[in-house]
């Protein structure tokens, strides 16, 4: 009698089968609200229609308050075509789990904030009142601050971008107020053969100072840069790819250069609070009549003793015959 042989089963087959691949799990769907900014003279919007389109195409939901982008020349129609939902009730857009803003949360919006909400915006912590912070803490708000966002290289990309814009705009504004059209001295910044260039003093060799220097040199001006950080002065020259006149902040030298300049730019910053005041009222009084001061650091107190906060409606004032912007 033949012995029973075991039956061996195998899954081997010559039949072509589908390849099994790892399926990437779907990410969480985000609901982002973009309220219209109501802060004083705030005309920006945090997300433009193109950015909204990218978010919507990736499966996220975006709610935009009516006319949120109007001051930045973006219509509700453009946002709607990008896939956003347009709402007319501010309270409704403020219910979104994530809020994206171009300005800090104002006191009027504190009652509209939701529990455990996430807000992506500038914070300006040093300017906030204690009560303001306490109310946000009570609602367990997660606040992501633009000015504190750092990338893998250790830099602050959003702050850098804003500083580049400010530095580039400075010299264009200076040229505008030096023109006779704005009751200025009626001079150009430079670049005219046979005519001495306009003299520009820039206080601060950071990102604002670097881009102000770039634009001033491109316009043909003679530029002198002051900063107490020698490393920054060296880095500025390396980034520009050329030698420029630089000096540490020695009061006697600074006062001498300010006496003969047409444009003075304040671009000093302080990571720990107020910007240092390095130009006294006496120095300003000794400047040429009709010259212009542009204090970019005014939001942190300003580098010039005579600097004051102004508005877009009235951006300048005159003190000691010097235009202050």
- Positions of CATH 3.40.50.720 in the chain: 31-148, 157-324
Tokens of 267: 């671009």
pLDDT of 15 = 62
Report the C-alpha gap between 49 and 82 in whole angstroms: 6
pLDDT in tens, 87-118: 999 999 999 999 999 999 999 999 999 999 99
Q: pLDDT, tens digit, for every residue of 32-52?
A: 999 999 988 889 999 999 999
In this predicted structure, the answer to whether residue 250 has a pLDDT above a threshold of 90 is yes
> DSSP readout, 56-109?
HHTT-EEEEETTTTGGGT--HHHHHHTTPEEES-HHHHTTSSEEE-SSPPPGGG
| Model confidence at 234: pLDDT above 90 | yes
The predicted pLDDT at position 22 comes to 52
Return the pLDDT at 189.
Answer: 82
pLDDT over 70 (residue 8): no
Give the pLDDT score at 320.
92
Q: Whole-model pTM?
A: 0.79
pLDDT at 247: 95
pLDDT tier for residue 17 given thresholds of 50, 70 and 90: low
| Domain 157-324 architecture | 3-Layer(aba) Sandwich (3.40)
Question: With the CA atoms of 171, 173, 176 and 178 taken in that order, what torsion angle do they form, in degrees rounded to the nearest 10?
Answer: -70
Average pLDDT over all residues of the chain: 88
Which phi and psi angles does 279 have, rounded to 5°?
-115, 115
DSSP string, 175-244: HHHHSGGGTS-----S--TTSPPPEEEEE--SHHHHHHHHHHHHTT-EEEEE-S-HHHHHHHHHHHTS--
124 as an active site residue: the answer is yes
Task: Give the H/E segment covering residue 136.
Answer: helix 130-138
Helix (H, G, I), strand (E, B) or coil at 31: strand
* Domain range 31-148, CATH architecture: 3-Layer(aba) Sandwich (3.40)
Catalytic residue (choose from 31, 124, 132, 324): 124
**What is the pLDDT, as a whole number, of residue 211?**
94
Backbone angles phi, psi at 259, to 5 degrees: -60, -30
């Amino acid at each position: 009698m033949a012995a029973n042989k075991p039956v061996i089963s195998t899954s081997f087959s010559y039949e072509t089968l589908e390849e099994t691949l790892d399926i990437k799990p779907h990410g969480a769907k985000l609901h982002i609200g973009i309220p219209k900014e109501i802060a004083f003279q705030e005309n920006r919007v945090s997300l433009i229609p193109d950015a909204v389109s990218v978010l919507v195409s990736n499966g996220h939901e975006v709610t935009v308050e009516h006319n949120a982008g109007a001051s930045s020349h973006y219509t509700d129609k453009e946002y709607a075509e990008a896939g956003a939902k347009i709402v007319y009730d501010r309270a409704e857009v403020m219910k979104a789990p994530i809020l994206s803003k171009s300005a800090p949360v104002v006191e009027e919006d504190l009652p509209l904030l939701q529990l455990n909400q996430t807000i992506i915006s500038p914070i300006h912590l040093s300017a906030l009142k204690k009560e303001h912070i306490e109310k946000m803490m009570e609602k367990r708000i997660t606040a992501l601050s633009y000015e504190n966002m750092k990338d893998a290289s250790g830099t602050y990309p959003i702050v850098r971008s804003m500083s580049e814009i400010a530095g580039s705009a400075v010299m264009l504004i200076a040229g505008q107020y030096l023109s006779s059209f704005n009751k200025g001295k009626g001079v150009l910044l430079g670049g005219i053969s046979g005519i001495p260039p306009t003299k520009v003093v820039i206080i601060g060799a950071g990102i604002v100072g670097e881009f102000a220097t770039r634009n001033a040199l491109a316009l043909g001006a003679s530029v002198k840069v002051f900063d107490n950080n020698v490393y920054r002065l060296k880095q500025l020259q390396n980034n520009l790819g050329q030698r420029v006149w630089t000096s540490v902040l020695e009061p006697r030298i600074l006062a001498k250069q300010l006496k003969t300049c047409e444009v003075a730019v304040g671009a000093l910053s302080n990571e720990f609070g107020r910007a240092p005041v390095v130009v006294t009222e006496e120095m300003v009084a000794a400047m040429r009549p009709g010259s212009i001061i542009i204090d970019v650091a005014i939001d942190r107190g300003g580098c010039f003793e005579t600097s004051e906060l102004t508005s877009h409606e009235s951006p300048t004032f005159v003190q000691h015959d010097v235009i202050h912007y």
